[in-house]
Structure 1
Amino acid sequence: MNGNEDGESAGHDEREREHIPGSGVARRWLSRRSVLIAGASGLGVAGLAAGTATGALPFSAPLQRALGVASSNPTTQLGTPRVDRVYSAARGREIDLVTMLPTKTPARGLPMSLMLHGLHGNARGAAPSGLLKQLSSDVARKAVPAYGFVAVDGGDNYWHENHPGDNPMAMLLEEVPRWLRERGLGGVDGLPFACTGVSMGGFGALLYAKRRLERRQPLAAVATLAPALITSWAEMSKRNAFHDAAQWTSLDPLSYVDVIKSVPMGIWCGTEDPFITGVRRFIDEAHPAVAHMAHGKHGDAFNRTVVPSVVSFLGKHVPRTA
């Protein structure tokens, strides 16, 4: 992992760095894996490009099984990912809108959770490994009510407007509900019932929870994996995501724990994660419903181990009247 990566740790070995979502190394690893999958399935880069143009990823059954999002039986196919290109006025650019649905034909108004990516990440790589497979499996066996995830490209500014005209938080609050409604997802108002975030996305998820409370539209749940809760401005300033210490302090979840702790929360973090100090402080002050700390570094190698717990936690807070 290079010096600009979220959650930098000099102790990460090559295998760990290959699995950190959103890093340049992760993209190279995925590219090699994609080549292998494409060879096995007979689909290549041209097929993926066509999917982007049409809005639907051309995942054949063999390719979906290779990606771990489908069963071998077409009648019980699990996990339906979809990528659309949409224009975000809040961000002033086109972005990827990725929906991850538990079945091929979900019920209209399917409850949705946001899935916020980490630093240098994007919508396509926002979810930890195995999330869609776990969700689909749990929904199929009725271990959790049906729900889905939606991810968007948020940039590297900790999900707030660091540069005029690029406001990812406004995109989440104003545009995502409309995009979901247009796709028959998220209920009548299209509002996500929950927010899930990884690393920088965890910071963003907690900030989003605060914004929803301010709008009197509280979330039903927030799930954060190794949220980037940094305890010093000297360290945060390296990320060039805030104008100054005062702006960071006003947006830092550690500064408004009392405001958001009424929202049901789950937090998962490795004890060797560079953000563990801030996470422990947040847990001590917020007393979240789930506070899981176990051996592990920052990245997908740890995150994928807690996917079952995350899916279960969110499932307990799916709106029953959706």
Structure 2
Amino acid sequence: MTRRGLLLGGLAVCTSVAACGAQEREQVPVPYVPATPDPPAPPPVPVSARRVYSAARGSEVDLVVIAPEGVPIAGLPVCLALHGKGSNARGFADLGVPAMLSEVVDAGTPPFALVALDGAHYWVDVDGGDDPLRMLVDELPGWLADTELGAPAAALGISMGAFGALRYAREQRDMKAIAACSPALFVDWPDAEAREVFANESQWESHEPLRHTAELGRAEIGVWCGEDDPFAGAARKLVQATTPARAEIGPGEHDESYWTSAMPEILRFVGARLA
């Protein structure tokens, strides 16, 4: 073989190898990298709070909404939650109510939302310039509409809040449920007068739930109270006067320990009736 033929043959081999290498490179599959999916939407926040101005009270108040964790809030049935003396709307969160509501719903209670506001002096107008009851009746529905919620169809209250829940039911006669926990009610004027809330006996009588039990509408009533609670006697009178759907007067005092122990049952009571 001539030197020229040898060189041409080597060139042909190199060209063939290069072509094969290029072909192999072209045939190597590109690894598939799937598109990164969008992160899942976070679950609804179970507690929200905002400040609103109440013309009825002449001041700003907290409006707190508590929903079961992971449940969209729009359109849920609403239970009004009224706090006791010395507390405020955020007090229900401090008691652990958001977790309790989520737990009872996870266990089968139909979901609903709790709505709490700041109140005072037994949730009624006692001085002509601060009217929590008018706030609940006239202003709350508009605030709830902004949150895609309807008007309350149930109410629960602790201590002073139970007085307010029962008083509210006289204005809203189509309520489905009223839950009174450690209800701060007064069997006579000297007892009420000692609280230094009401201006006179006539004003107290106009609001006292024990004097107006026939005006509570169709709501099913539940009563919870500790035996060692100073309001236990008034709670028993409420039971006698209303024949409630549920009445639990057992061990306990007028304190947070009793309220937290009773609250899961109260939430189940309300949820079943709102459904």
Equivalent-residue separation in structure 2 for 1:221 and 1:232 (angstroms): 26
What percentage of residue pairs aligned between the two structures are identical? 38
Q: How does 1:195-210 map to 2 (within 5 A)?
A: 195-210=155-170
Q: Please tell me whether residue 149 in structure 1 is matched to residue 144 in structure 2.
A: no
User: For 1:233 and 1:249, how far apart are their aligned partners in 2?
Assistant: 8
**1:140 deviation in Å?**
2.8
Identify which of 50, 54, 59 aligns with 1:84: 50
Uncovered stretches (5+) of structure 1, i.e. residues with no partner:
1-73
Amino acid of the structure 1 residue aligned with 2:115:
V
Residue in 2 aligned with 1:178?
142
Answer yes or no: is the 8 Å Cα contact 1:194–1:314 preserved in 2.
yes
CA distance in 1, matches of 2:240, 2:44: 38
| Aligned with residue 129 of structure 1, among 71, 91, 95 | 95
Are the aligned partners of 1:194 and 1:220 in contact in 2 as well (CA < 8 Å)?
yes
- TM-score by structure 1 length? 0.69
Q: Secondary structure at the match of 1:82?
A: strand
Aligned Cα root-mean-square deviation (Å): 2.0
Q: Describe the SS at the equivalent of 2:228.
A: coil
Say which SS state the counterpart of residue 260 (structure 2) adopts: helix
Equivalent runs, 1:1-322 vs 2, <5 Å: 80-126=46-92, 129-141=95-107, 143-155=108-120, 157-185=121-149, 190-213=150-173, 218-260=174-216, 262-319=218-275
Partner residue in 1 for 2:35: none
Tell me by how many angstroms 1:152 deviates: 0.5
Check whether the contact 2:163–2:184 (CA below 8 A) recurs between aligned residues. yes
SS in 2 for 1:317: helix
TM-score of the aligned structures, taking structure 2 as reference length: 0.81
Give the paired residue count: 236
> CA 1:315/1:108 → structure 2, altered by over 3 Å: closer, same or farther?
same
* 1:5 match: none
Unaligned runs of at least 5 residues, structure 2: 1-39
Which runs of structure 1 show a deviation greater than 4 angstroms over 4 or more consecutive aligned residues? 74-79
The letter of the residue matching 2:259 is: N
Write the distance in 1 (CA, Å) between the matches of 2:119 and 2:157. Answer: 12
In 2, Cα distance between equivalents of 1:146 and 1:273: 31
SS class of match (1:97)? strand
**SS at 2:183's partner residue?**
coil
CA shift for structure 1 position 120: 1.8
Kept in 1: contact 2:175–2:218 (CA 8 A)? no
